[in-house]
Amino acid sequence: MPTVHNLVPIINDQSQYIHHLEAEVKFCKEELSGMKNRVQVVVLENERLQQELKSQIQEETMREQTLLDASGNMQNSWVATGENSRVGEKRPFPHDDGDIRKAAGEAEKWKLELERLKLTYEAKSEILESQLTFLRKDLAEYQKHCEDLKQQLKHKESLLATNISNRVGGLCLRCAQHEAVLSQTHNNAHIQTIERLTKERDDLMSALISVRSSLADGQQRETRAFEQVKEAVHMTEEANFEKTKALIQCEQLRNELERQTERLEKELSSQQEKRAFDKEMMKKEVAKARKDMESKMLILSQNIVQLEFQVEKVTREKISAINQLEEVQNQLTSQEMDVTKVCGELRFQLNKAEVEKDEAEKEHREYRVKTKRDLEIKDQEIEKLKVELSETKQHVEQEQQQAARAREECLKLTELLAECEHQLHLTRLEKDSIQQSFSNEAKAQALQAQQREQELTQKIEQMEAQHDKTENEQYSLMTSQNTFLIKLKEECCSLAKKLEQISQKSRSEIALLSQEKMYTDNKLEKLQRRNNELEEQCVQHGKVHETMKERLRQLDKHSQATAQQLVQLLNRQNQLLLERQSLSEEVDRLRAQQPYVIIFKIIDIISLHQRTHRMELKNKREEQTRTAEGRRGLACVGRGSCLPPRSPLGEEAAQWRVGLQGCCHAPSFPQPRALPS
């Protein structure tokens, strides 16, 4: 038992102690009101999340339906395009049907998988909704229990207020000592009140501890919300990463286009090399033929030179050979005119070849222009894709702005709720003031209330533990659900993107194949025409070569005949010289004899000599006419029209030049050398 000296300071400090307890009670009330606000905010967030989940589920179902419709439309479009291509094309391709069947089978597999995902998602959503309803019921029960506890606290506060009002205010030391002496009998009552106040303080401290634990839970929830925001940021980063992937795929498409252009250029270069190789082979063959002809012509020219030397010797001895040589000169002048004509024809053919070369260069330029246009069209498509990406970025930014606006609205609503709770607190204070009038009747029930408070505190602790467990379970379920939903979204987005990419690739490949087919068809037609023209030219060249061979054979025969004739003429000349010598000897011998007999014999010999000479001239003329007629027939066969007769040398040169008119490179003919008179 405390003494009187110890009770006086206790009594003096009692008012301060009471004020301190009232301040602690107010602090507990304020923290309880803050906890209520936070609990309401959490409830609102849960409702908002449920609504968002429902809206996301609806959007996903709509997207799945649109994807299914799009896959069906794609199948129909593929089938329609396949039928149109089969109708338009003359030759059917069996591998198109196989591709369409594969695509249809894959689309059916995707449909079945999407239906399975729908069923699993609906079952899980039903389970989660049932769990949410159960949790809502638990929260309603916990809120009712909290309200009951609040009413009990208000009742205790009213009892404390009545005790303070009944007590005496500040006293002086003497009066307090006197009152303490008088109130020694009532010490036990004061001690009981102090113990009761300490118990209440302990209860309030335990309530503060529980409130602080709830604040810690609220902070943990805030950290969890912060982690969710981090996850959202991570999702946005993943979206940006997917955008970069799309850009990389665009660059890969560009590289593929460049590779295709390089492949086409390589094919063009290979075809050009083949053409050049064919041209070089033709040139080599023509060069070989030309060399052979030149060798033959050199041999013939050498033989002709030898014969010309022999003819020059004969012309010095005989005047008749001079006339023949003059005729040969006239024929050579006519040959020169023919050579000029042949040179003009060869120049005309060279001009034609240059015109064809210019046309080929024009076709090459047109092909380059077409390839450039195709590349420009592809660049425009890439720019369109970039514009679509920028539009999607703007759409994402707009959605982020809308989310920020929604958060601002939520903050405004929380402020309004705080104001409403403040007004409720004021009304409750008014109620407390009214209830203070009824405090005298509630003194008897104070002890029962204390026991009930202890029981309720125990129940509160148990319920809080259960509530924490349920919150943890709910949070784990929510996190698993969110992860599952995120995975489903990512898979759906990836599948949709893959379908779009496959459809775009198939369309682009079909367009490229159609273009390549058109180009190859046109190219094949041109090559077939060129091949036909080359075959016709080859046939014409073969005919010309055959005619030239026949003409060379005839020229060989003619040269052999002329050589034999020259040999015969030389033999005849030798015979005539021998006869002249014999005649001169006979003349010398007869001069010694009778002069008249000698004169008559000389006259007879001269007449015989003249007759023989006339017969030889007639035979030579007949042979010349026969050879001229044969040459006219050959010239008609080689050129298609009859020409005047020519000398053997001029006809050989003319026929050789006519045979080489179809060749690419005609030789440069030397000017005919005039024979000496």
Alpha-carbon gap, residue 149 to 28, rounded angstroms: 13
Task: Give percent of the chain with pLDDT exceeding 90.
Answer: 0
Average of per-residue pLDDT across 8-17: 63
DSSP secondary structure of 90-119: SS--HHHHHHHHHHHHHHHHHHHHHHHHHH
Residue 215's Cβ-count burial label (10 Å; 0-12, 13-18, 19+) is middle
Dihedral sign from CA coordinates of 589, 592, 593, 595: positive
Using pLDDT thresholds of 50, 70 and 90, give the confidence band for residue 439: low
Instruction: Give CA 585 to chain center in angstroms.
Output: 112
Q: Residue 499: is its pLDDT beyond 70?
A: yes
Closest CA to 493 of 569, 405, 392, 578: 392
Alpha-carbon gap, residue 123 to 116, rounded angstroms: 11
Dihedral sign from CA coordinates of 240, 243, 245, 251: negative
Q: Residue 340: is its pLDDT beyond 60?
A: yes
Virtual torsion, Cα 249, 253, 255, 261, nearest 10 deg: 180
Q: Residue 73: is its pLDDT beyond 70?
A: no
Tokens of 234: 């991570």
Alpha-carbon gap, residue 285 to 300, rounded angstroms: 22
> Tell me: the pLDDT tens digits for 151-197?
777 776 776 666 555 444 444 545 545 554 444 444 556 667 777 77
- Residue 270: other Cβ atoms inside 10 A: 10
Q: Which H or E run contains 510? A: helix 446-591
- Looking at residue 324, what is its pLDDT? 65
Instruction: Give CA 219 to chain center in angstroms.
Output: 51
> DSSP label at 442?
G
> Tell me: the pLDDT tens digits for 464-482?
777 778 778 777 777 877 7
> Tell me: the pLDDT tens digits for 505-547?
878 888 888 888 888 888 888 888 888 888 888 788 778 878 8
Using pLDDT thresholds of 50, 70 and 90, give the confidence band for residue 121: low
- Looking at residue 67, what is its pLDDT? 59
Average of per-residue pLDDT across 52-81: 59
List the single range of 120-129, 139-148, 180-189, 373-382 with lowest mean pLDDT: 180-189
Closest CA to 2 of 188, 127, 134: 188
Q: Which residues of 533-559 are buried (b: 16+ CB within 10 A; e: fewer)?
A: eeeeeeeebeebeebbeebbebbeebb
> DSSP label at 387?
H
Q: What is the largest CA-CA distance in the chain?
A: 228
Residues listed for the chain: 677
Please provide residue 332's backbone torsions phi and psi, each rounded to the nearest 5 degrees: -65, -40
Average of per-residue pLDDT across 382-393: 77
DSSP secondary structure of 261-286: HHHHHHHHHHHHHHHHHHHHHHHHHH
Please provide residue 663's backbone torsions phi and psi, each rounded to the nearest 5 degrees: -75, 160
Average of per-residue pLDDT across 648-665: 42
- Looking at residue 306, what is its pLDDT? 78
Closest CA to 518 of 85, 83, 78: 85
Helix, strand, coil share of the chain (percent; to 5): 90, 0, 10
- Name, in order, each residue with C-beta under 8 angstroms of 150's C-beta and a sequence gap of 6 or more: 32
Letter for the amino acid at 128?
Answer: L
- Looking at residue 667, what is its pLDDT? 39
> Tell me: the pLDDT tens digits for 342-360?
777 777 877 777 787 788 7
CA distances from 97 to 79, 82, 102, 154 (A): 9, 8, 9, 83
Alpha-carbon gap, residue 571 to 113, rounded angstroms: 114
CA distances from 178 to 182, 184, 448, 626, 644 (A): 6, 10, 35, 185, 177
Q: Which residues of 76-110 are buried (b: 16+ CB within 10 A; e: fewer)?
A: eebeeebeeeeeeeeeeeeebeeeeeebeeebeeb
Average of per-residue pLDDT across 584-595: 69
Q: Which H or E run contains 400? A: helix 320-435
Closest CA to 663 of 276, 294, 279, 286: 286
Q: Residue 634: is its pLDDT beyond 70?
A: no
Tokens of 262: 């390089």
Q: Residue 263: is its pLDDT beyond 80?
A: yes
Alpha-carbon gap, residue 235 to 89, rounded angstroms: 49
Q: What is the mean pLDDT of the chain?
A: 70
- Residue 313: other Cβ atoms inside 10 A: 13
Average of per-residue pLDDT across 116-121: 70
CA distances from 635 to 221, 287, 655 (A): 114, 25, 8
Tokens of 482: 């969110």
Letter for the amino acid at 638?
Answer: G
Q: Residue 76: is its pLDDT beyond 80?
A: no
Instruction: Give CA 260 to chain center in angstroms.
Output: 11
Q: What angle do CA 374, 375, 379 make, to 5 degrees?
A: 120
> Tell me: the pLDDT tens digits for 622-632?
777 766 665 55
Q: Residue 619: is its pLDDT beyond 80?
A: no
Across 137-183, the runs of DSSP E, i.e. the strands, are: none
CB of 331 within 8 A of CB of 338?
A: no
Alpha-carbon gap, residue 300 to 202, rounded angstroms: 143
Task: Give percent of the chain with pLDDT exceeding 70.
Answer: 65
Q: Residue 298: is its pLDDT beyond 80?
A: yes
Alpha-carbon gap, residue 157 to 135, rounded angstroms: 33
Distance linking the first and last C-alpha atoms of the chain: 178
Whose tokens are 């061979």? That residue is 549
Provide the whole-model pTM: 0.21
- Looking at residue 172, what is its pLDDT? 52
Dihedral sign from CA coordinates of 650, 653, 659, 664: negative
- Looking at residue 168, what is its pLDDT? 42
Pick from 321-325, 332-336, 402-406, 528-532 the range whose average pLDDT is largest: 528-532
> Tell me: the pLDDT tens digits for 193-238?
777 777 777 777 777 777 777 777 767 776 776 777 677 667 767 7
CB of 273 within 8 A of CB of 640?
A: no
Letter for the amino acid at 157?
Answer: E
- Looking at residue 435, what is its pLDDT? 65
CA distances from 87 to 91, 361, 633 (A): 9, 36, 60
Letter for the amino acid at 346?
Answer: L
- Looking at residue 630, what is its pLDDT? 58
Tokens of 14: 């009692």
